[in-house]
Amino acid sequence: GAVVSQHPSWVICKSGTSVKIECRSLDFQATTMFWYRQFPKQSLMLMATSNEGSKATYEQGVEKDKFLINHASLTLSTLTVTSAHPEDSSFYICSAMGPHSGNTIYFGEGSWLTVV
């Protein structure tokens, strides 16, 4: 099946710094990518939808200036958590789909962010 790769798998950063998480579709062109956040033992909450070449659409309650999403190419989307705080610590998961992914949405392995 299609592969979506996230990097880094885990990251620890200091409060106030920014951290970037990458999401890559390895074998198909991802015209749409989604970013989710998941707290321990909870469900996934959609943060934003990004379409290649256009601005991301954020879900209600998600601060677009804090969670910067860039989808500059058909294989890469990035999520930058700016001025991170401990409450931003979470598991962030991306997913991707495209015209040749057969209507299936493929998920990355997720990235653990810990802000200390």
Partner 1 sequence: SQQGEEDPQALSIQEGENATMNCSYKTSINNLQWYRQNSGRGLVHLILIRSNEREKHSGRLRVTLDTSKKSSSLLITASRAADTASYFCATDAKETSGSRLTFGEGTQLTVNP
Interacting residues with partner 1 (CB under 8 A): 1, 4, 6, 32, 34, 41-46, 49, 51, 91, 93, 95, 97, 103-110, 112
The one-letter amino acid code at 83 reads S
Q: How far is the CB of 109 from partner 1 (least distance, A)?
A: 4
Give me the residues paired with residue 11 across strands.
Answer: 113
Strands 32-38 and 90-97: antiparallel
What H or E segment, with its residue span, contains residue 112? strand 111-115
To partner 1, the closest distance from the beta carbon of 104 in angstroms equals 6
Kindly state the smallest distance separating residue 87's Cβ from partner 1, in Å.
Answer: 19
Output the CA–CA distances (angstroms, integers) from residue 43 to 39, 40, 46, 106, 114, in the order listed.
7, 8, 10, 17, 18
Q: Smaller CB distance to partner 1: residue 63 or 109?
A: 109
> Looking at beta carbons only, is 17 or 45 nearer to partner 1?
45
- Report the residue number, 27 or 109, with the smaller CB distance to partner 1: 109
